[in-house]
């Protein structure tokens, strides 16, 4: 992870947020190359899940939203992290993260050394040791675990902890200057609520019929403490969420659930080009699953810091629409055109973290080969598609011809074609490999006489000669 982090900063993928002023913890800025990669992932997600399906529509809801939305959704009452502070060095950490890290490092030893506890049942303890997860545990259970196993502070190694307390993760927004307005709105904690709140607007302004989905890609905000694994968990992040509405009397939810599992896995493996071995499904235990969900499964990726959630899939039934009906006092339904009956649909919700998809493709494509470091990114999402070089930058005739090739490709290829004339050819290849540019084109003296250029392939480092007339088509067919 250290090497990847260094590359991400050095090459302009990700910078620490507000670095000039000492930084703001758990925030990041995306640099020129990172911005392109992030945008390409979002665009591909949108294309696959919205534009190429006839049962989906898009939405772009406000980030600032009415406090009642979050009361109805349950976030105001229970969207909280359990935190603990080290009394000695003042490190604040999520209690579940502290325990899960400990379980990760000591699981073998713990299998033979289970301490008798009052609040944690034998079964819960066994399950936690096996899965290395304590999601759904109460603060009291976590506190007991930290005490009986004498967990050390990861910063100063002392064992002097405060009690475990809950902190709500929503960010309140102070609107206007009128006293009393404070707390009247929140920055959204998930994009999902927009789809429920605008359900009636979408139904009455479009011709959707069940089953159909509303999708949204956009920022969400959660005031959380993180373990510092780059952009894996941040306080401001992007989600790609879908609420797939259906009539439970007409559709088999288990079948739909399986279809969504296949669509999510397929996107990660085939559209993003991630290795199958690094993916797995994990079903939530009864304890960690929300009370209204009939089934929740996480698609996990094997990050350098272990298998972690990438994309959640939950069957939320009609919980959210019914909550908004109760809190708003308005009817929310869709009319079945066959029976004329009002239907409050159920939903299946695939909820992806776009920044996690970003970190995943970088981790998955990072390769060190002899003297070069390569990001073997799928060309469809690579920040730059082609780099064009003149063999020598001090030969005006080569530079002029290379500029012509660059301009032609720039106009014909959908995606960025980049110009590079720094250093020697070898250094240019190395630097393009590090940002994942799939192909480099060199204009040399043969180009001046025979219209022939050299294409060098990023992954194999093999070179081939091709005429300028064939060049654009060569890349277009590879990128299609």
Structure tokens of 169? 């993760």
Site for ligand GAP in 288-327 (CB under 6 A): 309-312
Site for ligand GAP in 219-258 (CB under 6 A): 222, 224, 233-234, 237, 239, 241
**Residue with the closest Cβ to ligand GAP?**
353
Residue from 33, 153, 187, 351 that binds ligand GAP (CB under 6 A)?
Answer: 351
Length of the chain: 480
Whether 437 and 377 have beta carbons less than 8 Å apart is answered as no
Return the closest-CA partner of residue 435 out of 12, 38, 5. 12
User: What does residue 137 show for φ and ψ, rounded to 5 degrees?
Assistant: -70, 145
Q: Which is nearer to ligand GAP, 353 or 436 (CB)?
A: 353
Least CB distance to ligand GAP at residue 219 (A): 10
DSSP, residue by residue, 274-310 = --GGGEEEEEPPTTTS-TT-SEEEEEEEEETTEEEEE
Residue from 355, 437, 442, 454 that binds ligand GAP (CB under 6 A)?
Answer: 355
Q: Which is nearer to ligand GAP, 356 or 401 (CB)?
A: 356
Q: Which is nearer to ligand GAP, 100 or 241 (CB)?
A: 241
Least CB distance to ligand GAP at residue 210 (A): 20
**190 binding ligand GAP? (CB under 6 A):** yes
Strand partners, 206: none
Contacts of 400 (CB under 8 A, 6+ apart): none
Q: Which is nearer to ligand GAP, 234 or 454 (CB)?
A: 234
Least CB distance to ligand GAP at residue 286 (A): 17
**65 binding ligand GAP? (CB under 6 A):** no
CA dist 433 and 438 (Å) reads 8
Structure tokens of 64? 């600032």
**353 binding ligand GAP? (CB under 6 A):** yes
Q: Name the one range near ligand GAP by CB under 6 A: 130-138, 173-181, 344-352, 437-445.
A: 344-352
Q: Which is nearer to ligand GAP, 233 or 376 (CB)?
A: 233
**76 binding ligand GAP? (CB under 6 A):** no
Least CB distance to ligand GAP at residue 218 (A): 12
DSSP, residue by residue, 42-65 = HHHHHIIIIIT-SSEEE----SEE
Burial of 472 (0-12, 13-18, 19+ CB in 10 A): middle
Least CB distance to ligand GAP at residue 232 (A): 6
Q: Which is nearer to ligand GAP, 221 or 406 (CB)?
A: 221
Residue from 69, 93, 192, 374 that binds ligand GAP (CB under 6 A)?
Answer: 192
Least CB distance to ligand GAP at residue 298 (A): 7
CA dist 156 and 352 (Å) reads 35
Angle between helices 468-479 and 396-412 (to 10 degrees): 40
Whether 66 and 148 have beta carbons less than 8 Å apart is answered as no
Structure tokens of 345? 């649909």
Q: Which residues bind ligand GAP (CB under 6 A)?
A: 190, 192, 222, 224, 233-234, 237, 239, 241, 309-312, 349, 351-353, 355-356
């Amino acid at each position: 992870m250290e090497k990847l982090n260094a590359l991400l900063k050095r090459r302009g993928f990700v910078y620490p947020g507000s670095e000039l002023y000492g930084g703001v913890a758990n925030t990041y800025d995306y640099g020129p190359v990172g911005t392109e990669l992030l945008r390409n992932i979002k665009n591909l997600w949108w294309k696959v899940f919205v534009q190429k399906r006839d049962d989906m529509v898009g939405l772009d809801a406000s980030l600032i939203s009415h406090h009642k939305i979050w009361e109805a959704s349950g976030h105001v009452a229970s969207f909280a992290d359990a935190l603990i502070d080290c009394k000695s060095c003042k490190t604040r950490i999520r209690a579940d993260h502290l325990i899960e890290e400990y379980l990760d490092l000591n699981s073998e030893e713990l299998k033979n050394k289970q301490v008798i506890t009052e609040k944690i049942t034998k079964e819960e303890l066994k399950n936690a040791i096996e899965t290395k997860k304590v999601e759904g545990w109460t603060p009291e259970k976590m506190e007991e675990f930290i005490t009986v196993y004498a967990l050390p502070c990861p910063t100063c190694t002392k064992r002097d902890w405060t009690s475990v307390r809950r902190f709500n993760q929503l960010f309140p927004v102070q609107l206007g200057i009128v006293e009393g307005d404070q707390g009247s709105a929140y920055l959204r904690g998930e994009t999902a609520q927009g789809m429920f709140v605008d359900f009636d607007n979408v139904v009455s302004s479009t011709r959707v019929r069940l089953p159909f989905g509303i999708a949204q890609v956009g920022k969400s905000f959660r005031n959380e403490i993180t373990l510092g694994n780059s952009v894996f968990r941040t306080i401001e992040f992007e989600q790609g969420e879908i609420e797939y509405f259906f009539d439970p009397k007409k559709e088999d939810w288990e079948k739909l659930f399986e279809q969504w599992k296949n669509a999510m896995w397929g996107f990660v493996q085939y559209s993003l080009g991630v290795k199958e071995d690094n993916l797995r499904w994990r079903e939530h235990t009864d304890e960690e699953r929300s009370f209204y969900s009939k089934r929740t499964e996480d698609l996990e990726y094997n990050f350098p810091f272990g298998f972690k959630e990438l994309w959640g899939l939950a069957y939320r039934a009609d919980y959210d629409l019914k909550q908004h009906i109760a809190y708003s006092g308005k009817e929310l339904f869709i009319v079945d055109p066959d029976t004329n009956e009002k239907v409050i649909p159920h939903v299946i919700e695939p909820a992806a973290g776009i920044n996690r998809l970003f970190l995943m493709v970088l981790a998955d494509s990072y390769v060190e080969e002899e003297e070069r470091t390569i990001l073997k990114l799928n060309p469809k999402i690579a920040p730059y598609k082609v780099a064009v070089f003149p063999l020598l930058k001090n030969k005006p005739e080569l530079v002029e011809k290379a500029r012509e090739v660059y301009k032609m490709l720039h106009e014909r290829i959908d995606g960025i074609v980049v110009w590079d004339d720094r250093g020697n050819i070898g250094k240019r290849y190395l630097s393009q490999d590090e940002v994942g540019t799939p192909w480099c084109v060199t204009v040399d003296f043969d180009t001046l006489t025979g219209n022939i250029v050299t294409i060098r392939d990023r992954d194999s480092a093999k070179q081939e000669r091709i005429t300028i007339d064939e060049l654009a088509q060569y890349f277009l067919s590879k990128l299609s």
